[in-house]
Amino acid sequence: MPRKFGQHFLRDQAVLQRIAAAACPETEPLVIEIGPGRGALTRPLLSRCEKLIAIEVDPEMVLHLERQMAGEERFSVRHQDVLKVDLREFAPCVIAGNLPYYISSPIASLVFAAAGAWKRAVFLVQKEVAMRMAAQQGSRDYGYLSVMTQVHATATILFTVPPSAFSPPPKVDSAVILLEPKVVDAEYARRFLQFASRSFLHKRKMLRNNLSAFYGKANLEAQPEATLRAEQLSIAQLEALFARLSSLGPMLS
Ligand code: SAM
């Protein structure tokens, strides 16, 4: 069985149906499927939407799908690295996929960069990644990925999936995560997430150590959160600190 491109194919029909139902509780006009592989999830999705465009990097899978789905006019496959796709071209759409785990975080960034283009996203990812995406402050999974995710979306872990549901089985547990977009100003999100990534850069360091270079030591020392670590602050608290520091002037770099 090939393992290139993070290929672990779903074979549990109940899991496939549950993912498709979560992505399309009602008939959707357009679904974008990331990493269709041999089409295990493609068929259940297609039965719940009017049109499906799949994006697949592996030429063998693309050929296989083109043969399998020949004559199905509601389906098309693009042979492309999804990370090079601007998902905004598909607006409005639903996005779904059993993601290649080695690039699930970059795919999440890509999806968030297309804010406004998608109305729902449902992904099967490594369970640990799903937990980090949905984590709240106080959980050991909480970090930059949680902040990036929750600035853009409400994240809900729907159910977990054991390795036995796949062929070949991955070494880790998996989970299905539902992302429902929040309305967010793109420029604000970009600036706040730059601040958040700097805040979390050295997770064990105090905020004053991570941020002084960007806002000045004296400005940081004046903040009540200066001696806390980023992981001790909720997203709302991080946003409050960002607003206060931003009001002092632009970041130094
Ligand atoms: N959806 C199928 C299933 O559930 O059986 C396959 C899922 S498999 C975990 C991930 C799929 O993503 C593979 O088909 C792989 O070739 C594809 N893939 C990996 N990297 C990709 C990339 N950069 N762009 C598009 N597809 C990619």
All structural domains of the chain: 9-184 (3.40.50.150), 187-246 (1.10.8.100)
- Indicate whether residue 33 lines ligand 1 (CB < 6 A): no
Report the pLDDT value the prediction gives residue 122, as an integer from 0 to 100: 98
pLDDT of residue 251: 66
Give the separation between CA 123 and CA 209, rounded to whole angstroms.
36
- Best mutation site among 10, 53, 58 for ligand 1 pocket (most ligand atoms within 8 Å of CB): 58
Of 5, 52, 124, the residue with max ligand 1 atoms within 8 A of its CB, to mutate for a pocket test, comes to 5
CB of residue 44 inside a 6 A radius of ligand 1: no
Write down the pLDDT at residue 248. 83
- Specify the pLDDT at position 31: 98
- Tens-level pLDDT at each residue, the chain (253 residues): 345 798 999 999 999 999 999 999 999 999 999 999 999 999 999 999 999 999 999 999 999 999 999 999 999 999 999 999 999 999 999 999 999 999 999 999 999 999 999 999 999 999 999 999 999 999 999 999 999 999 999 999 999 999 999 999 999 999 999 999 999 999 999 999 999 999 999 988 999 999 999 999 999 999 999 999 999 999 999 999 999 999 887 666 5
Q: Are 77 and 107 in contact (CB under 8 A)?
A: no
If you average pLDDT over every residue of the chain, what do you get? 95
Residue with tokens 């992981």: 231
The pairing of strands 166-167 and 9-10 is antiparallel
Query: What pLDDT score was predicted for residue 2?
Result: 41
Using CA positions, which residue lies closest to atom 18 of ligand 1? Answer: 35
What pLDDT does residue 108 have?
97
Amino acid at the residue 144: Y
The closest residue, in CA terms, to atom 23 on ligand 1 is: 81
79 in contact with ligand 1, CB cutoff 6 A: no
What is the pLDDT at residue 21?
98
What's the pLDDT score for residue 12?
A: 97
How much distance in Å is there from the Cα of 197 to the middle of ligand 1? 28
